[in-house]
Amino acid sequence: MDSTQSRQDYFNDLSGRWDGFTDGERVRMALRKALSTVSIDQEEHVVDLGCGTGNLTSVLTEILGPGGTITAVDFSGAMIEVARNKVRDPRVRWLVADAARLPLEDASIDRVICFSAWPHFPDPSAAARELFRILRPGGMLHILHINSRESINAVHGGVGGAIGHDVLPSARDLAGVLRACGFDVCEEVDTDTAYRVAGEKVV
């Protein structure tokens, strides 16, 4: 079994229990706070990459206006099913797809937000190139976690199995990956309480 398949199986199996591991309201509050410093236009087309059970998707429905859209992407069909039953909003389109192969048009997206999913992508450069492709010129990519990098990596190591070696790199190293794909990196936060890397697609 290849590593993508074993990760997919892992997350499909986790889908029914994921919301029990976290306090959803606390997560959504932390997301609202993290996004309060980001100027999101009400009419944007936003991708929630690695949407899981839809915590960020739900917060984005609060932020966007009637003309905004959210494409919520996850390679786990089971995660998407949980999310679809929680977040019922006509502005959300659900998509089962891999981060490195997105069935989305070139330059069609204003913003990609990847919350708590980046360490699981086996080829981060391939994912970054794909996100660069789908973003419009001036579009933004945000890679976001609401815990420290050390704590996230410790959790993955402790869980072991399919995700045991999934590592969130330092913000500095991730910024290098984004720059190599053409992003202009404008935020690098890697502290005891937060992790955020953001880049703009410049052409």
Per-residue x/- marks for ligand SAM, 5-44, CB under 6 A?
--x---x---------------------------------
Q: To the nearest whole angstrom, how small is the minimum distance from the Cβ of residue 62 to ligand SAM?
A: 16
Separation between Cα atoms, residue 111 and residue 90, nearest integer Å: 19
**Shortest distance (Å) from residue 186 CB to ligand SAM:** 22
Contact, 200 vs 138, CB < 8 A? yes
Q: CB of 15 within 8 A of CB of 8?
A: no
Burial environment of residue 90 by CB neighbours within 10 A (0 to 12, 13 to 18, 19 or more): exposed
Structure tokens at 39: 């100027």
CA-nearest of 137, 12, 19 to 74 is 12
Whole-angstrom distance, CA of residue 193 vs CA of residue 146: 7
Report the candidate in 203, 59, 31 with the shortest Cα–Cα distance to residue 133: 203
Q: Which of 30, 52, 58, 95 binds ligand SAM (CB under 6 A)?
A: 52
Q: Which is nearer to ligand SAM, 155 or 189 (CB)?
A: 155
124 lies in the binding site for ligand SAM (CB under 6 A): no
The window from 46-54, 105-113, 134-142, 180-188 that contacts ligand SAM (CB under 6 A) reads: 46-54
How many beta carbons lie within 10 A of that of residue 165, not counting itself? 13
Query: Which of 115, 132, 183, 195 touches ligand SAM (CB under 6 A)?
Result: 115
Instruction: Verify binding: residue 128, ligand SAM, rule CB under 6 A.
Output: no
Q: Which stretch binds ligand SAM (CB under 6 A): 37-45, 52-60, 105-113, 184-192?
A: 52-60
The footprint of ligand SAM on residues 93-112 (CB under 6 A) is 98-99
Residue 160 region by backbone torsions, left for phi larger than 0, else alpha for psi between -120 and 50, else beta: left
Q: What is the C-alpha separation between 120 and 179, in angstroms, rounded?
A: 20
58 near ligand SAM (CB under 6 A): no
Kindly state whether residue 74 participates in binding ligand SAM, applying the rule CB under 6 A: yes
Could you tell me how many residues of this chain bind ligand SAM (CB under 6 A)?
A: 19
Binding site for ligand SAM (CB under 6 A): 7, 11, 50-53, 55-56, 74-76, 79, 98-99, 115-117, 120-121
